[in-house]
Chain A
Amino acid sequence: MLTLLRDLRRLRRDLHLPRPDRGRSLAIRHVDAGSCNGCEHELTLTASPFYDLARFGLGIVASPRHADVLLVTGAVTSRMRDPLLIAYAAMPEPRRVAALGNCALGRNLLGTPADLVGPVETLLPVDVRISGCPPTPDLIAEAILRLVDDPPSM
């Protein structure tokens, strides 16, 4: 493995490729802020053999303290507002927020106004929007990979 890494580095130097200024991986923390569980079911399958996002350096991490991206699903309910903000505050910078699914984007929200805070955008700066009800695993994969390839400027 070490040999392989050294070879890759030599190859990169020989070909005069630019040195990557950041590792090509992203750690994702998912927060369900009030979804119907559809986005979770599809997000789970992005790790399945058909998509296997781990091979692109993408992984779900257990703590927001380890995360680069906060991936939020669901219309934010009044009871999930505080946990969501606490998770965001716990993340190291630079950090990104991705809103996953139509509810998180505030489209066709269902529920009573007293129980919903509204779309993620009303609480956090959203960098990536993934629409769909729910978005399919390949759409989720594509959107997150774009974040790796072309990170938004700070």
Chain B
Amino acid sequence: MTVEATAPVESIEASRESYRSDVERSLGTGWQFAGLHVAAGDALVRMSLAAADGSARLIGVAVRGGQVPSIVDLVPAAGWDEREAADLFGVTFTGHEPIRPIVNHVQLDRWTVPVRGADAYQVAVGPIHAGVIESGHFRFHVVGDRILHLDARLFYKHRGLEKAAEGGSADRGLAYVARACAGCAVANAVAYAHACEQALGLGPSAELARVRTILLELERVWNHLNDIAAVCAGVGLAVGNNRFAGLTERARRLNAALTGHRFLFGTVRIGGSDLAVGADQIQAARVELAALHRAAANGWRELVFNASLQDRLPDVGVVMACEAQRLGTVGPAARAAGKAEDVRAGSPRLAYTGFHPAAVERANGDVKARFDQRAIELWQSFALLEHLLDRPVHPTTAEPGAAPQPTGIGRVESPRGATTCVVELTAGQVRRLRLRTGSYANWPTVAYAAAGNLLPDFPLINKSFELCYACVDR
């Protein structure tokens, strides 16, 4: 294993005076914001940072009198993290005013941004939506059909999973993380397992890295197929929707054939893997993946030449590269905006050697770019799986790595982008857990992308991100 695989998390305890300049310096030297959490004991707020090579850094600042300095002006991406910490832990972020409640569902004027002007009015949607959609409330501030501003109120599905995991064993904690979201179950579970293994001083064996990479890519395949179907549904193209929904079904059946579960539940554990896949199953999976690849490519070609679909996609829901950078956008949405970064390229704990992020040629951050990005990533995942599924999969265990440490950070590229999991372990017990998923990172970008567009285009813009609510609400 490479050195980085077992490198410890660099932890900086900043003074209140130096905190903001420490954050600024790190951001200026290539570190990316990866989340903010209140450390166990509630006396410390810590910001996680990630580098492109997969290493991690924590900058902590003491909570004094219930207050810490806000960094939201330096890192706008920390906005939701600070609002969440304020609601769940009662921390006041000096400089983030007014801090709008995000988890706590209070009266309208406290969580929405005031929008004034002639003919401005509000359209409220949700929490129960018209289709089979997760629960969440959107409040559009519009003039005519034009969206001026969107306030999203999620956390309707907040189950307190992270808090419930506290005090339990690391293995028990996995159940909470894996059930946070079915769409990103593997990504979340692997991020958590990586964090725990780093805290426990474990590194992956080559086989463990391979098994987890296979699972992550299988998850990406069904998600991307599902997301292409969703965009078709977003414009009312039933034929495209049905075609890719059918392929999604086939991908889930393949998951079940390989692992016994359509969503790959229960396939990840800390310190090893129990998954065994024989040569015959591997061969059958390779055949089905090749068939899926062909069918998806055929389906995609028809979508490319479908004028009624393609007419709807360009120049809608535009996120420019500088905005993606500012808002901390991750995953396919960021790459479609020209921010060519992918956690997979720096994942020493996984088998992504030689991986280069794919990006669409026309990466101008609109619905079309995000739609096309899904397709090229899908081809990339099929190629990765063909390479990885070249021999049977055997049960395996992790290997001793660096010295154990109190905090571990796992970072994984989920189908929706970089997912970061921070775990504090004491004597094998979870003391604090924070899961910041790709969906969590991207919701503020959806709100940004909606502004300036027509209200009837919002479902399409939303589908082009296809974020989970469950991943955010936890």
Residues of A bordering B, CB below 8 Å? 30-45, 47-50, 60, 62-64, 74-75, 77, 79-80, 83, 87, 110-112, 114-116, 133-134, 136-137
Contacts and interface: CB of A to CB of B under 8 A. Distances in A.
B160 A115 contact: yes
B246 A36 contact: no
A102 to B, nearest CB: 10
B181 A44 contact: no
Contacts of B135: 31-34, 80, 83
B226 A41 contact: yes
Interface string B250-269: 00100000000011010000
B156 interface: yes
A44 B229 CA distance: 11
A31 B160 contact: no
A109 B227 CA distance: 28
A79 B176 CA distance: 19
B118 interface: no
Given A40-B133, A42-B262, A77-B156, 12 more contacts: A34-B135, A37-B470, A45-B249, A45-B252, A63-B130, A64-B128, A79-B155, A79-B156, A80-B127, A83-B135, A111-B160, A136-B262
A22 to B, nearest CB: 25
Contacts of A44: 132, 245
Interface in B419-474: 468-471, 473
Interface string B155-187: 111111101100000000001100111110100
B51 to A, nearest CB: 31
Contact of A111 (B164, B243, B471): B164
Contact of B246 (A41, A49, A134): A49
B443 to A, nearest CB: 15
B181 A36 contact: yes
Give the most central of B133, B156, B157, B246: most A CB within 10 Å: B157
B77 to A, nearest CB: 23
A37 B183 contact: yes
Nearest to A111: B159
A38 B134 contact: no
B470 A35 contact: yes
B128 A36 contact: no
B16 to A, nearest CB: 31
A44 B185 CA distance: 18
Contacts of B164: 110-112
Contacts of A30: 131-132
B441 to A, nearest CB: 17
A41 B242 contact: no
B105 interface: yes
Nearest to A62: B130
B46 to A, nearest CB: 22
A134 B264 CA distance: 11
- Measured as residues with beta carbon below 8 angstroms from the partner, the interface class of chain B is 35 or more
B128 A83 contact: yes
Nearest to A28: B132
Contacts of A112: 159-160, 163-164
A80 B105 CA distance: 11
A50 B156 contact: no
A60 B159 contact: no
B328 to A, nearest CB: 23
A122 to B, nearest CB: 16
Nearest to B230: A44
A41 B183 contact: yes
25 contacts: A30-B132, A32-B135, A34-B157, A34-B473, A35-B134, A35-B157, A36-B181, A36-B185, A37-B134, A37-B181, A37-B468, A37-B469, A38-B182, A45-B248, A62-B131, A77-B157, A77-B159, A79-B158, A110-B164, A111-B160, A111-B164, A112-B160, A116-B159, A134-B182, A134-B263
Contacts of B131: 30, 60, 62
Nearest to A115: B160
A34 B470 CA distance: 8
Nearest to A43: B132
Given A37-B183, A74-B157, A31 B175 contact: no
A112 B157 CA distance: 12
A113 B399 CA distance: 38
Contacts of A114: 160
Nearest to B156: A79
A48 B182 contact: no
A131 B180 CA distance: 19
Contacts of A74: 157
A118 to B, nearest CB: 12
